[in-house]
Amino acid sequence: MTEKKENFMKKAFREMGESAKAQHEVDKANFKAAKAEAKANFEENRGINTLKRAKAQAKQSWDDAHLSPAERTEKIREQQKKQIEEANERIRLANKRYESAKVEKKK
């Protein structure tokens, strides 16, 4: 009985070690991916994120933080309306493409 228990413990610790090694490999891969993405994002945004733009974004953020609840709600509603309009435009364009593709198939 004790021998079975010892074998069980050895097997359990061996499996835990293998699992930890596998997780370490996953973590290393994820870290490398995040590092590569950050590097790519930095390169893509080089020259775009200027001090002037950062100041404008900070001012906008500051102004947004000091809106009254009613003003904040109104601003959110405006953004939502704009997004709905953009979505409707995308729907219109997609339907137009669909109809033209449907006509092409009939020929």
CB proximity list for 67: less than 8 A, separation 6 or greater:
75
- What's residue 1's pLDDT? 52
Rounded CA separation 23/20 (Å): 5
Averaged pLDDT, groups of 10, the chain, 107 residues long = 76 91 92 91 79 86 89 93 96 94 79
**SS3 (DSSP) at 29:** helix
